[in-house]
Amino acid sequence: MMQRSGSYKVSIFSEQYTIKTDEPADLIVQAAALVDSTMKEIACGSNLDSKSIAVLAALRIAHQIITCNIHQSSNDALINMIDQELAKLGLTQ
């Protein structure tokens, strides 16, 4: 099923943006909220310009994604090992 393209207004770091996407509204709102809160956290107590804050926020979020991917890969490898051992024991379905 094809989703309709939507247009959503979000606020990030006191700036308004219009996002045009096929993604569900709740995902766009969550993503914008994550970027906004990360930028505000980095800006708190600093005198960095908006561009530097945005770059640091992007790096922080990218690091979180990479870390999650690494953990997911490790989990997948562990699940595969367990499945193999269960198969050796004849305990798979």
pLDDT(1) > 60:
no
Separation between Cα atoms, residue 7 and residue 19, nearest integer Å: 5
State the pLDDT at residue 3: 57
Q: What is the pLDDT of residues 57-91, one digit of tens each?
A: 999 999 999 999 999 999 999 999 999 999 999 98
Q: What's the whole-model pTM score?
A: 0.78
Confidence of residue 92 (pLDDT cuts 50, 70, 90): confident
Residue 2 has pLDDT above 90, yes or no: no
Distance CA 91, CA 93 (A): 7
User: Is pLDDT above 60 for 51?
Assistant: yes
Break the chain into its structural domains and give their ranges.
Answer: 6-88
